[in-house]
Amino acid sequence: MDEKHNDSTFSERRASRPYSIIVVGAGIGGLAIGLCMRKTGHDVRILERRHEITEVGAGIQIPPNASRILRRFGVLGEVMKYATVLERNSLRRWKDDEELGSVPLVPDIEENFGAPLAVIHRADLQRILLDAAIDCGCKILEDHEVVDIDKKFLPLTPSSVRRLLVRSRGVKTWMSADVILAADGMNSIVRRKMAIASGHDDQLVPAGELAYRFLLPREAIEHDEKAMALLSKNHGMRYMGPGGHIMAYPLRNNTLYNVVLVRKAESEQLQKITWTTRAKKEDIIKYYRGWCPIIHALISHVPGSGALETPMNNMPPLPTWVKGHIALAGDACHYMLPYVAQGAANALEDAGTLAMAFTCTDRIELALELYQFIRKHRSEWIQASATSNGYTLHLPDGEEQRRRDDSIRAANIGSGTNPDKWNDKKTREFMWHVDVMAETVNEFESLAREAGLKKT
């Protein structure tokens, strides 16, 4: 498929019938959905519970399956002004810094997948999507927290009004729309209410691991030769060790160094699911004491306030993402561990699929069922791959770890598969080459029949 030739084909498509749409959540997924739905002709309101739309966190990856969607909706050019294109990814041992393999990314990725792979600060991507959503006419409503769904419309019927109970500045009011798309994160209130109505037990399952995230500004490390050597190169660095791994790369034109350290969680940390916890610097130093000197150098620059600490959770596959005219999207329905770097990308796939589905039919139920049909199995497969990859990356030293390392070395010279799924050619093909927007448009009729749906 000629991606460049097809970009205008997708970006110029318009909704079969414009609808009023409420998007719940103004994170990356919610803003992308709002932008894509508005660009295809719908009236869009995006509700955000926070008083101000800001983003914490650090770097995220934009793989080809995400960048081609950003390009089709007119924002990739702006994204690439702030993004870093990594030239290669280095896979290394935790203790002695031995390089097990080096995977080239430039020009291989764009040549093979028709779209670039980049990394960007999460806040930059969110700001770009927010500005684009506002510019194209989305209404952004901050301090609007969804607290309930009108239960008399669960299950919803085609003729019912879709209503949400929303609290703003302490006052509760009902808001209605033709379609409600909930991208309100892994602790989604909409998912919880849908689960209650369906008799489904909605529970996140602690993964037993947590991540530390921190950013090192150039001025903080300019006197550290080892750290500056990493900052100056557009390389991804993956360190694998017993019970954890580390991923690091430069951001913002090599002025920030992004570091993510993943480790086994202690029992008292398993039930936390908030982004606001900060880990003490001394605790991080203690856990990674046996790792190689370059890791010590990076951790030594953690600010005195500590690093963001994020416990990892698993989300068991949901029985459904759709209830009448309400659909879940992003982390609300397929929160995944970050070990194949597909969380944000899959939220963007949701946005592109939803937008295209509503250009294929004016039936809301059909469009949402088609969206679920295209996206659910694929995202669950990637979820499972991420969980499996965590096991592979975190092997304790021993025979299984030695077989893993030998396989990485062999894959580096073109022999066999790479056990690190992010670097494995076959897994990359599935994650990055599949074009959900093209699939939705080109195979609408056959997919609708396969899903047991009728167009009329």
Q: Which helix (H) or strand (E) holds 155?
A: none
15 touches 40 (CB < 8 A): yes
What is the distance of C-alpha 39 from the center of its chain?
A: 21
**DSSP secondary structure of 126-147:** HHHHHHHHHHTTPEEE-S-EEE
Q: Which two tokens stand for residue 422?
A: 């992010």
All residues at 6 or more sequence positions from 441 whose CB lies less than 8 Å from its CB, including other chains: 10, 13, 356, 359, 360
Q: In terms of residues, how long is the chain? A: 456
**DSSP secondary structure of 158-210:** TTSPEEEEEEETTEEEEEEESEEEE---TT-HHHHHHHHHHT-----EEEEEE
**DSSP secondary structure of 403-414:** HHHHHHHHHHTT
180 touches 165 (CB < 8 A): no
State the number of CA atoms in the 13 A half-sphere of 396 facing the CB.
Answer: 2
All residues at 6 or more sequence positions from 225 whose CB lies less than 8 Å from its CB, including other chains: none
What 246-250 contacts at long range (C-beta under 8 Å, 24+ apart), as own/partner pairs, is: 246/94, 246/291, 246/295, 248/298, 249/59, 249/84, 249/86, 249/119, 250/84
Q: Which two tokens stand for residue 105?
A: 């990314």
Q: What is the DSSP letter of 340?
A: G
CA–CA gap between residue 297 and residue 283 (Å, rounded)? 15
Q: Report the catalytic residues.
A: 213
Of 275, 283, 266, 288, the C-alpha closest to 206 is: 266
